[in-house]
A and B are shown apart, each in its own frame.
Chain A
Amino acid sequence: MATLTYRDALNQALREEMQRDPNVFLMGEEVGVYQGAYKVSRGLLEEFGPRRIVDTPIAELGFAGIGVGAAMAGLRPVIEFMTWNFAVLALDQIVNSAAKILYESGGQVPIPIVFRGPNGAALQLAAQHSQAWESWLSHIPGLKVVAPATPADAKGLLKSAIRDNNPVIVLEGEMLYNIKGEVPEGEHIVPIGQAEVKRPGHDVTFICHSKTVTVALKAAEQLAEREGASAEVLDLRSLRPLDEAAILESVARTNRAVVVEEGWPHCGIGAQVVDVIQRDAFDQLDAPVLRVTQADVPMPYNKQLERLAKPSPERVVAAARRVLYLD
């Protein structure tokens, strides 16, 4: 197995899927000549040419709509947003067109499209460039939403997304592009809708996705070192559909859970996870489920304030101590 960065794993998925299916094309800002704002599309223009690697003006609503229209007429577009912060301008196309056309056409017009790009805060980019959009997007019936945390999952989920006959949102992590991991070569598919235990444990479950998997893994190490407690790290990987069975199975083992996410607390992904747990695992809980989220503020620029705003291993450990009644 090759060791690849998350960025190159995505690149490999795009390359393989474009080789496999001539109807797949990539469109977005700077994807071609510039080789991608985050270099995910590096080398693709050279291999596939400008017909299939399409640079766009800065017009998110317009090119997202072109993608949906192309999908209506039988293509399988991959639309790259330079970041999901800019995709807010395209929400009308994602929500009103991509997610609804199949239903409102009585099943006649499927929309096989991928919308992808980096999501969540990076470093000191301030409020407008540091946002996690998963709860917004996961709210919408008609969409699927995935948020890979590792290079292998990035490749496997992007391939699944491109082959899916529905609109799939792929939330990449801006801070994850450089992380490395082993990635199976060739046909490596991660089915949409399946969570994965990234670290087994028996005292508490950390439920997380995307960048917070790294945060939760660090927290699990710290918890083991400092308290001798064993945390299970459950990576959701897909946020819609949500792997409720995996959540319930893990909580049945540990009887305690902390949900960790980059988004804001109000109506967040964690709220949905807590709903699943309280509904179907109420009697198995030994403590209330706690959530670790971004602080309920626009992201500050100042480095120290930004650090305080983000979910950190320390905050996850503090939550774990509370659900374990160690405080």
Chain B
Amino acid sequence: MATATARTANANVTAQTELERRMLRQMLLIRRFEEKAAEAYALGKIGGFCHLYIGQEAVAVGSLAVLRDDDYVISSYRDHGQALARGVPATAVMAELFGKATGCSKGKGGSMHLFDAGRRFLGGHGIVGGHIPLAAGIGFAIRYKGGDQVCMCYFGEAAVNIGAFHEALNMASVYKLPVIFCCENNRYGMGTAFERVAAVTDVVEHACSYDMAAEVVDGMDALAVYAATERAADRARNGGHPTLLEVRTYRYMGHSMSDPLHGVYRTKEEVEEQRKRDPISQLALKLKEAGALDDAALQALDAEARAETDEAARFAEESPDPEPDELTTHVLAD
């Protein structure tokens, strides 16, 4: 009996360690992928707007680790991290950024409109807050069909000032929709600090208006994000109650590739201070302290992430542009 318990405990430890290593590996992939994207953007291989996720990796990785394959995910235009964490191949994401036919949206969506219907990754949406009602609608469909899936919806704190956020949260609560509203509070809407434009600066407080469960989460700690998402998913699956998570995070880069890292709206010192809480370093340290990771293993994980990213860039580079007749396909469905 004692042996069996010990064996179960060991198995649990192993499973937890495995999960943490997988999350570390995914965060490294996102970090290296985004660095490669920045490089490709500078070389003119990626056009338009390109919003990077560096600094926020723990949010997508920690939360999506909780989800099942039949759950739904929807995001804003800062969507590379969630797409990768959902398992959309790095090759298909990078090819989409390059606008290639092999991209996950066939080169027609670009950085802001990543889709993978098979993985129930339903975009990539470009209007601030515009997809929050869509998430409620996906939740509505889940409830209508009597399923126990959840819809995970990501948006930035700036979207909280938009009417769509409030309309969607109210209806999600009234109709008891299984949606997790995940506000990635990275403190700045483009170059505007949230406290300069929001009367209520704790996003989580908005949940009170809609009688919704809510919590504040440390977005630099993937395990904290995982735990909070697990609680929210349980709530959604058992009774279809929505949750508002305010995940406090930080973006290291500018709002998009065309914006400065710091300057008029935040200081270099602030960015450097935040980098000390880096989500990847934190999780790596935890694993090292637990004896589950050493420098060599970390370097090996990082090398894997770099190799996967290099392969994605090579694939994107070598992939063809969409054929000219793709211009007029997919305007209407058959």
Contacts and interface: CB of A to CB of B under 8 A. Distances in A.
A144 B330 CA distance: 14
Contact of A106 (B74, B142, B171, B330): B330
A103 B330 contact: yes
A96 interface: yes
A138 interface: no
Contacts of A144: 332
Contacts, number: 150
Interface stretch (B25-33, B133-141, B217-225, B286-294): B133-141
A96 B133 CA distance: 13
A81 to B, nearest CB: 14
Interface string B132-172: 11111111111011000000000000000001100110110
Most A Cβ at <10 Å: residue of B74, B123, B132, B163: B123
A75 B141 contact: yes
Interface stretch (B107-115, B192-200, B303-311, B312-320): B107-115
Contact of B123 (A25, A67, A74, A101): A101
B137 A92 contact: no
Given A70-B141, A105-B117, A165-B334, A65 B134 contact: yes
Contact of B137 (A68, A102, A104, A106): A68
A103 B331 contact: yes
Interface in A28-66: 51, 54, 56-57, 59, 61-66
A61 B136 CA distance: 12
A97 interface: yes
B105 A51 contact: no
Nearest to A62: B167
Contacts of A61: 133, 163-164, 167
B137 A72 contact: yes
Interface string A77-113: 1000000000000001100110001111111111110
A59 B170 contact: yes
Nearest to A99: B331
B125 interface: yes
A60 to B, nearest CB: 9
B330 A70 contact: no
Interface residues of B, number: 48
B191 interface: no
Contacts of B168: 62, 65-66
A75 B115 CA distance: 19
B174 interface: yes
Contacts of A69: 74, 133-141
B2 interface: no
A71 interface: yes
A288 interface: no
A70 B141 CA distance: 5
A73 to B, nearest CB: 3
Contacts of B170: 57, 59, 62
A166 interface: yes
A102 B163 CA distance: 25
Interface in A182-222: none
Given A73-B141, A105-B330, 14 more contacts: A25-B144, A61-B163, A61-B164, A63-B171, A65-B136, A74-B141, A75-B145, A92-B130, A105-B105, A105-B113, A105-B123, A107-B106, A112-B333, A165-B334
Interface of A: 25, 51, 54, 56-57, 59, 61-75, 77, 92-93, 96-97, 101-112, 141-142, 144, 165-166
The 3 A-B residue pairs with the shortest CB-CB distance, nearest first, are A69-B137, A65-B133, A62-B167
Interface of B: 72, 74, 103-109, 113, 115-117, 122-127, 130-142, 144-145, 163-164, 167-168, 170-171, 174-175, 329-334
